[in-house]
Amino acid sequence: MTAINTTTARINHFADLEALRQVSAQTLAVRTAESVRLPDAEQIQILVCGGTGCQAGKSVATRKAFEVAIREAGLSDRVSVHQVGCFGFCRMGPVVVIYPGETFYCEVAAKDVSDIITHHVMGGNPVQRLLYAPSPKEKVRVQTMAANPFYKGQQRVALKLCGHIDPEDIRESIGAGRYFALAKGLLEMTPASVIDEIKRSGLRGRGGGGFPTGKKWEFAAASVNDVKYVLCNADEGDPGAFMDRSVLEGDPHAIIEAMALAGYAIGAKQGYVYVRAEYPVAIHRLGIAIRQAREVGLLGEKILGTDFSFDIDIRLGAGAFVCGEETALIASIEGERGMPRPRPPFPAVSGLWQKPTLNNNVETYANVPDIILKGAEWYAAMGTPKSTGTKVFAVAGNIMNTGLVEVPMGTTLREIVYGMGGGIPKGKKFKAAQTGGPSGGCIPAQLLDTPMDFDTLVSLGSMMGSGGLIVMDDSTCMVDVARFYLEFTQEESCGKCPPCRVGTKRMLELLDKITTGEGTLEDIDKLEELAAGIKATSLCGLGQTAPNPVLSTLHYFRDEFIAHVVEKRCPAGKCQALTEFRIDAELCKGCGLCARKCPTNCISGEIKHPFVIDASACVKCGNCSDVCKFGAVVH
Amino acid sequence: MSCNCCKGMITEDPRFAELDAFIASAKSTPGSLISVLHKAQHLFGFLPEEVLQHIAAGLQIPPAEVYGVVTFYNYFSTEPVGRFPISVCMGTACYVQGADRVLAKIESELGIKTGQVTDDGLFSLVSCRCVGACGLAPVITIGGEVHGKLTEHDVPKLLAEIRQQAIADGLVEAPVQEPVAAGSDK
Amino acid sequence: MINLTIDRKQVQVESGTTVLEAARSMGVNIPTLCYLKNINKIGACRMCLVEVKGARGLQTSCTTPCTEGMEVTTNNTAVRAARKLVLELLLSDHNMECPTCVRAGNCELLQLSQEHGVSGIRYEGEKHAAHCDCDSPSLSIDSSKCVLCQRCVAVCREVQGVSAISLVGRGFESAVTPFWKTSIDAAACALCGQCTLVCPTGALTEKDDTEKVWAALMDPTKHVIVQTAPATRVAIGEMFGMPHGAIATGQMVAAIRSLGFDRVFDTNFSADLTIMEEASELVSRLQNGGPLPLITSCSPGWVKYAEHFFPDQLDHLSSCKSPQQMFGAIAKTYYAEKQGIDPKDIVSVSIMPCTAKKFEAARDEMNASGYQDVDYVLTTRELGRMIKQAGLNLAKLRPEEYDVPLGIGTGAGQIFGTTGGVMEAAMRTAAAWLGGTDMPRLTFQEVRGEVAGIREATVVINGNVFFLAIANGLAAAGRIMEKIKAGDTRYHFVEIMGCPGGCIGGGGQPIPSEGPDALEEVRLARIKSMYAIDEAQTIRRSHENPAIQELYREFLGAPLSHKSHELLHTHYHGRGPAGVRKAAAASGVKK
Ligand SMILES: Cc1cc2nc3c(=O)[nH]c(=O)nc-3n(C[C@H](O)[C@H](O)[C@H](O)COP(=O)(O)O)c2cc1C
Ligand code: SF4
Ligand code: SF4
Ligand code: SF4
Ligand code: SF4
Ligand code: SF4
Ligand code: SF4
Ligand code: SF4
Ligand code: SF4
Ligand code: FES
Ligand code: FES
Ligand code: FES
C-alpha cells in the first residue's frame, strides 16, 4: 500500500500516536516467534520479502501469486499477504514467512504458491521441500527462523523490524513502536538529555570510523547558527555491504525518526538522506515513508504539537564511491563534483552550505530510537565496554550462508563464520576474512577467534568499516585480492590530490607486475614505501586507507608475495600468468569430464586413459580443475 | 548564435519540454544539478551535448561546470547506451564469486568490451560496484533488473532470451540484417 | 590575537590566519602548489604539509587555521619525505621536457623539485592521457604538464566569473578542459589569459608567436614596425631582474630596435586617437540620445566576454576599435602613404600585456585598410623571451626614444593601461572641451583606484554632470552588466577592463618570480609607475598630442568623420556558444 488511508488524521498529540499504534497492534501481535498455530479461525499472515535481493528472484511474482491464490480459494477474510523488507538471507530468496508459527520458506517461486496454500495454509502442514536445509548433505530441514542456524545467535537491534513490517505502511511501523522514541525525546527530554543518552550508550558511528556518536551530536549542537543540517549517509559504498540498503528498504521510519531526534538534539530543521542511485527500491520506500510521515505530521511543522519542526529530503548519488566520505557527500548534495574538502573546518562547524552539519550512517541512526526508548544502559550492556551494542555484518564470499548477520560487538569471527555463516562450502579451508572493505584488511585463519569490535580490528591492521565481511577460502590468491582492492580505490580516487591520484596508480602497477610474474623483491619494498607515503599525505580517508589491504596482506601473507616474485608461482592458482594447468597421469581416471568443460577444447585423451592439456591453447579458466572429481588437474 | 543544430531538436522533441518543466521546479532548490541530470538521463537515455547545454542555461550554471559534474560520476553517460544496458557488478562479494568470469563471458558473447554498445544498439556493457544484492553474488543488472547467482554458463541463455524477445517485439531486426545506428531517436 | 609556535619560535597572529600565512609572515617559506592567496585554498596538492603537535597525521598549512598554543614544525624528516613523495609522484605523471618548455625559467614544479632535492623518480609508470589544445590564437592548454592544482579554474571562476574551464573526469584521468572537452576556442572564454598567469607549470600558456615574428624580422623585403602597449613598459623589466613595476620604457625601445624592427612606435599614440573618437562618440550619444551608458571597448577580453554573455547589450559598447587596432589601421594607410611604403610590405607587430589581443588582431573585421590591421601580437612575456634569445640584457641597455610620428603619445594615452585610466583620459579631454573659463582639471582621483571590482564616481564639469562607473576583472564586468541589462540607466560612461587592475594585470604580462601570490603587490607597483610616467609627461591630454592633431589635419579630417568611421570604428556581434553566468541561487541555503 503506497498511500495510507486518508482518514488517518494528523497526529497532534501523544494520544493520537498511541491510538494509531493500536490500529496495527493486533496484526503485528501475530508476528512473533512465540505465536503458535491456533484453531482454524485464526488469521494467517503471509509475509513475502520485497527486498532488492528477493525481488531479483521474482518475489513480486510470488507475492502476486499468493494474492491470486488466496482470492481464488476464498480465503481472503482470514489470510492476508504482506510485502516486507529484507530478512538478510537474500541468497535463499525469495523468502516467505508465514505466521502464526514463523515458518520460514526459502526460494519460493510463483509455482510453489499452490503447494503452500494447499498444504500449509489449508492443511496445516509445512511444505518440507521449501524449508531451509542447513546442511546440503543431511537434508534436515528447519521450520522456524528461530531454529535456523543463520539467525541463531543473532541479536537484532538495527535490523529488528526488517522483514517484520510492511515498510510502505506507516501504521505498521507505528504499531511496532516507531516514533515513540521521538515522542519521548520531544515531550519528555531536553536536547541536551537526548545527546547525553546517546553519549552514555557508547554508540559509535557504523559508517566506518567508529567515532562516538554522542560526541558528534554534541559538537554540532554547540555550533551556534540559525540554520543547521542533519545528514544521513546512505551511500553504502563498500562493495559487498548491504545493511544500509536493508534498513532503508525494511524499516525506513527508523531513519526518519532518528534523524528527527538528531534535528531536535542539535537544533536543525532540515535533513537530507544521500542514497546511492544503485538502490532504486530503497529510494522508493524511503520516499513513501517520508511522504507518509509528512501526511500524519511526524515530519513538517510542529511535530507532535511541539514547537519542533523538521523535514527530510532525499538526494541521489550518481556512482562515486568517494561521495561516502562526508565532505565529498556534502559537495555532492550541493550539486558539485564530489571531491573531499580539507578539515578543519569540520562539518559540525561548517558543512553543507557552510552551515553546521551532522552526518551519520544509516545503521548508526537505526540504533538511536531504541537507545532513547530503552535507555543508554540497556544498549551499553550489549557488546564490549568500548564497542557497545550490536553490529551488522554483511557476510559474503566463500561461505555457506551469505547474508546480514547482526551480533553483539565482540562476537568472534569464528562464531560468525562457522555459526551463522555455516562454514566454508565445497570442503575447502578458511583462509582469511576481509573486513572494512577497500579501507580495511584481512584476518588470517590463525586469528579466527578475534573478537569483532572497533579497536581489536584496528589493532590487527584491519578495520570495522561498514561491516562488510568477505570470507575467502584456500583457493583465493591474497596478492590478487590486494590487487582487486587497490584497483577499486584507484578507480574511485577523485583525483584531487597527487598521493592518491598518482600514488595508487603506481601501487597498482607494481601489483600488476607481481601478479603477472614481472615483479621483483625490490618492488615489494617499493610497495611498502609508497603505501606508507600515501597514507601519510593523502587528503581524505580514501587515500589514507587505500594502502591498507595491501599492507595487511603483506603482513599476514608475505610468503605469497615472495612466491609470486621469487618462484614466479601463484600458490592459489589464480594469477593466470603464473599458473599452468597440468593433468597428473597417475591420478587421472580418464573420465573425460574436463575435456567436455574446457572452453577451448584443449584437453584431449582417450576414455579410461590419462588426458592431457595442450598448454599453448589453455586460457587458464580453471574449469578442468574445478570439475575433476579425482583432483587430477594440478597447477 | 553560432550553433543552431539543437534548435530544431529542442522545439520538436517533447522530452525537452518535460525536462524544462523539471528544471523549472528544481531551479529554486539549491544544488539541484545532480537531480536534473538524473532526470535528463532518464528521459534521453544518456546526456548528449545539447542536453547539457540546455541544462546549463536552464539552471544558470556554466556549461563547463555542468560537464565537470557529469564526468565525475560514473552513473552519467555522455555516450548512447543500448536498449538493454548491462551492468556487471564487480564489487567484492561478486568478484570473489567469479564476477570476472561472468564479465568475460558477456564480453565474448556480445563481441564488445566494457563501455561499448553492440552494433544493433541492443546491449551496452559497463561494470559497476555493488547493487546491494551481494547475497546473490555474482550479480548483473540488465535494464535495471537484477539477475543474481549467475555463472558464466548462464550468460548465453540469458542474453539469447532477451535478444529473442527484442526481435519478437520488433525492437531489432533478426540477425544478419544491417545493424541499426545506436541510440538514433530522430 | 592567537599565540602559537612555528619551528620553536613564538608568533602572534590574528584569528583566522592560516598556518601558512603565519609562517610566511615570519620568513618561513612553506612550499605550495595549489594555494593561491585569497582565491584557491583547497588543500589539493599536499605540498604544504606540516606537522602540528597533537594532530593526527600531517596537516596542510594552507587550510589549517592557527589556534592558541599550536606547535607547528615545518621542517623535519616526515615533512620533507612527504613533500618529496608528492613531487616524485607528480613528476612520474608529468611530461618532463624542461629544456624545451616555455616555463622552464620560472616553473614552480621545476623549482620545487630542485629545492627539495628530488634526485630521481623512484616510481615510474603510465602517464595520464594527454591532450593538447592549441587551436586558439591566444592560448594553449597542454594537459601533459598539468598538475591539477586547479588555480586556473579558481581564477576563471572567482576572479573572472567566466568558468570557461573546469576540472573534468575523475581520478587519474582528470583534466582541466572547457565544456565537452572542446578547444578553448569553441568555449565561452574571454581569452583574457588570467589563467596563464597563475598556472605553476607550462600547462596553460599563451600561444607562442615569436617564431613568426623572427621570420618577419629576418625577411629583408618586409618593413617591420612595432607598437608597444602602455602597460608593457612597467612590466617587462621584471623579466630582467628589475623591481616590480620598474619603468623600462627606454630600455625596452632599445631592445626592440636591436631585435631588428624597422620602426618602434607606441600604442600611446593610438590611445590618444581612441580618446578623440570615443569622447566625440560620448558627446554625440549624449546630444543625440544614443544608447547610454557608453561602454569602453578597448579591452578585447572584455569585448569577447560581452559577445558571449551579453549579446543583447552590445549597442552600449563604443564602436571605437581598440588602440591596438586603430594603430594597425593607421599604420597601413596614413603611415604607409606618408612613408611611401606599399602596405602589403608592412608587417605590423604589437607588444601587448594581453592574450586576448592575439584573438582581436585575428578577427575577420579588423582589415579596414584592405590588409589585416595587425599581423602579429606578442605578449610582454614573448617579447621578453625574444630579447633573451637575442642575448640582450634589457636592464643594462642605454634607453632610446620611440620613432616619430606614431611613437608620440601623451600622459593620457599612457594611463590607458590601468583601471580608471581610459575614464580619466576621457575626462581630461572632456574637461578641456566643456570647461568654460576654469583651468581644465588634469587629475581625477575619484576614478582611480586599486584592483577592486566596481567603482562609481560623479564628475561635474562646468555644470555637466557625468555619472561614471569603472569595472575591472570580468566578474565585476558581469555584475555591472547585469545592472545595465536590468535597466539601470544612471551611468553615462562606463569603463570596463577585462583584467584585474586593467592591462597592467593583463594575462600576457610577466609572471612574478615569487609566483602569482605576489600579483596583488605587483599590480599596485605597476599602477603606481603608470601614473608616474603620466606625471612626468609635459603633454597629458590626448587632444593636445601634436601627432594626433597632424593626423586629423592631414588625413582623417575630424573625429567621427567618414574616414574615421571606416578605419577606426567597428561593430560587435553575439558569439556562440552563449555564456552562462552562475546564478546567485545556484549555491544557497535552504532554510
Ligand atoms: C572513501 C570513504 C567512503 C565512505 N563511505 C561511506 C559510506 O558509504 N557510508 C557511510 O555511512 N560512511 C562512509 N564513510 C564514512 C563517512 O565519511 C562518515 O565518517 C560517516 O558517514 C559518519 O557516520 P557515522 O559516524 O555514523 O559512522 C566513508 C568514508 C570514506 C573516507
Ligand atoms: S585521497 Fe583520493 S579521494 Fe581523497 S581527496 Fe585525495 S584524490 Fe580524492
Ligand atoms: S584451464 Fe580452462 S582452458 Fe585450460 S585446460 Fe583447463 S578448462 Fe581448458
Ligand atoms: S576430469 Fe579429472 S579424471 Fe577426468 S579426465 Fe579430466 S583430469 Fe582425468
Ligand atoms: S612544466 Fe615545468 S617541469 Fe614541466 S616540462 Fe615545463 S619546465 Fe619542466
Ligand atoms: S639541466 Fe641538466 S639535464 Fe637539463 S638540460 Fe641542463 S644539463 Fe641537461
Ligand atoms: S582565458 Fe580568461 S576566460 Fe578563458 S579560461 Fe582563462 S581565465 Fe577563463
Ligand atoms: S592548467 Fe595549470 S593552473 Fe590549471 S590545473 Fe593545470 S597546472 Fe594548475
Ligand atoms: S584588460 Fe588589457 S590585458 Fe586584459 S584583456 Fe583587456 S586589453 Fe587585454
Ligand atoms: S532481499 Fe529478501 S532476504 Fe534480503
Ligand atoms: S558486491 Fe556485487 S552486489 Fe554487492
Ligand atoms: S598548497 Fe596547501 S595543499 Fe596545495
- Give tens-digit pLDDT for A382-440: 999 999 999 999 999 999 999 999 999 999 999 999 999 999 998 899 999 999 999 99
Set of cell numbers at residue A562: 615472495
DSSP C402: P
Q: How far is the CA of A597 from the centre of ligand 3 (A)?
A: 8
Asked which of A424, A449, A476 is the last residue of a domain, the reply is: A476
In a domain, A157, yes or no: no
Question: Bridge partners of B176?
Answer: none
Domain co-membership, B106 together with B162:
yes
What pLDDT was estimated at residue A36?
A: 54
Domain co-membership, B61 together with B102:
no
Domain co-membership, A226 together with A345:
yes
Counted residue by residue, chain A has a size of 635
Tally of structural domains, chain A: 5
Domain co-membership, B91 together with B133:
yes
In a domain, A78, yes or no: yes
Task: Flag whether pLDDT at C436 surpasses 90.
Answer: no
Task: Flag whether pLDDT at B43 surpasses 90.
Answer: yes
Give the mean pLDDT of A8-21.
Answer: 89
Across chain B, the runs of DSSP E, i.e. the strands, are 84-89, 123-128, 140-142, 145-147
In a domain, B179, yes or no: no
User: Which residues surround ligand 6 with Cβ inside 6 Å?
Assistant: C 98-99
Domain co-membership, B68 together with B106:
no
Give the mean pLDDT of C204-209.
Answer: 97
In a domain, A18, yes or no: no
**pLDDT class of A124 with cuts at 50, 70, 90:** confident
Nearest partner of C135 among C181, C98, C171, C199, judged by Cα: C181
Ligand 4 and A581: CB distance under 6 A: no
Phi, psi values for residue C83, rounded to 5°: -65, -40
In a domain, A7, yes or no: no
In a domain, A73, yes or no: yes
Domain co-membership, A227 together with A330:
yes
Domain co-membership, C78 together with C215:
no
Span A34-78, pLDDT tens digits: 655 544 447 899 999 999 999 999 999 999 999 999 999 999 998
In a domain, B46, yes or no: yes
In a domain, A305, yes or no: yes
The percentage of residues in chain A with a pLDDT greater than 70, rounded to a whole number, is: 97
Domain co-membership, B61 together with B89:
no
Asked which of C33, C58, C90 is the last residue of a domain, the reply is: C90
Interface membership of A123 toward C (CB under 8 Å) = no
In a domain, B176, yes or no: no
Task: Flag whether pLDDT at C314 surpasses 50.
Answer: yes
- Domain span at residue B13 reads 9-72
Tracing cell 564497542 back to the chain, one arrives at A387
Interface membership of C532 toward A (CB under 8 Å) = no
Answer yes or no: are the C-beta atoms of C227 and C267 closer than 8 Å.
yes
Nearest CA to ligand 9 atom 2: C503
Tally of structural domains, chain C: 2
Asked which of C66, C90, C114 is the last residue of a domain, the reply is: C90
CB contact under 8 A, A402 and B69: no
User: Exposed (0-12), middle (13-18) or buried (19+): which is C424, by Cβ within 10 Å?
Assistant: buried
A544-547 contacts at long range (C-beta below 8 A, 24 or more positions apart): A544/C57, A545/A436, A545/A438, A545/A439, A545/A440, A545/A463, A546/A438, A546/A439, A546/A486, A546/A489, A546/A490, A546/A493, A546/A500, A546/A504, A546/A507, A547/A486, A547/A504, A547/A507
In a domain, A318, yes or no: yes
Nearest CA to ligand 5 atom 7: C104
Tracing cell 578507480 back to the chain, one arrives at A491
Answer yes or no: are the C-beta atoms of A290 and A314 closer than 8 Å.
yes
In a domain, A203, yes or no: yes
What number of other Cβ atoms are within 10 A of residue C573's Cβ?
9
Domain co-membership, C416 together with C551:
yes
Interface membership of A344 toward C (CB under 8 Å) = yes
CATH number, domain with residue C22: 3.10.20.740
Report the distance separating Cα C277 and Cα C266, nearest Å. Answer: 18
Q: How far is the CA of C202 from the centre of ligand 5 (A)?
A: 6
What pLDDT was estimated at residue C437?
A: 62
CATH number, domain with residue A450: 3.10.20.600
Domain co-membership, B100 together with B31:
no
CATH number, domain with residue B119: 3.40.30.10
CB contact under 8 A, B134 and A321: no
Span A501-517, pLDDT tens digits: 999 999 999 999 999 99
In a domain, C457, yes or no: yes
What pLDDT was estimated at residue A209?
A: 86
- Domain span at residue A194 reads 170-380
Angle between helix A252-266 and helix A243-250 axes, rounded to 10 deg: 100
Domain co-membership, C386 together with C525:
yes
In a domain, B181, yes or no: no
From residue A394, alpha-carbon distances to A250, A362, A434, C242 in Å are 16, 14, 11, 67
Residues of C marked as catalytic: 278, 281, 298, 318, 357, 360, 365, 503
Q: Please name the residues in contact with A230: beta carbons below 8 A apart, sequence gap of 6 or more.
A: A259, A262, A263, A266, A268, A270, A271, A272, A310, A357, A358, A359
Neighbours of chain A (3+ CB pairs under 8 A): B, C
Domain co-membership, B105 together with B149:
yes
Tally of structural domains, chain B: 2
Angle between helix B155-168 and helix B99-110 axes, rounded to 10 deg: 40
Pairing mode, if any, of strands C139-142 and A311-316?
unpaired
Runs of H (alpha helix) within A223-308: 243-250, 252-266, 280-295
Domain co-membership, C247 together with C378:
yes
Question: pTM score > 0.90 for this model?
Answer: yes
In a domain, C331, yes or no: yes
Span A353-384, pLDDT tens digits: 999 999 999 999 999 999 999 999 999 999 99
In a domain, C164, yes or no: no
Report the distance separating Cα B36 and Cα B18, nearest Å. Answer: 11
**pLDDT class of B141 with cuts at 50, 70, 90:** very high
- Domain span at residue C21 reads 2-90
CB-side neighbour CA atoms (13 Å) of C578: 19
ipTM > 0.90?
A: yes
Nearest partner of C299 among C417, C434, C201, C456, judged by Cα: C417
CB contact under 8 A, B133 and A90: yes
What pLDDT was estimated at residue B173?
A: 74
The percentage of residues in chain C with a pLDDT greater than 70, rounded to a whole number, is: 98
Interface mutation target, options B128, B129, B141, B149, chain A, most CBs of A under 10 Å? B129
**Torsion of the alpha carbons at A551, A557, A558 and A559, rounded to the nearest 10:** -170
Task: Flag whether pLDDT at B178 surpasses 60.
Answer: no
Q: Which residue of C has its CA nearest to A311?
A: C591
Counted residue by residue, chain B has a size of 186
In a domain, B2, yes or no: no
Domain co-membership, C382 together with C527:
yes
Mean residue pLDDT of chain A comes to 94
Nearest CA to ligand 11 atom 1: B91
Residues of C in Cβ contact (< 8 Å) with B68: 166-168
Report the distance separating Cα C579 and Cα C362, nearest Å. Answer: 21
Nearest partner of A189 among A20, A376, A364, judged by Cα: A376
Total beta-carbon pairs less than 8 A apart between chain A and chain B: 155
Report the distance separating Cα B137 and Cα B147, nearest Å. Answer: 9
Asked which of A431, A452, A476 is the last residue of a domain, the reply is: A476
**pLDDT class of C39 with cuts at 50, 70, 90:** very high
Measured distance between the N- and C-terminal CA atoms of chain C, rounded to whole angstroms: 34
Counted residue by residue, chain C has a size of 591
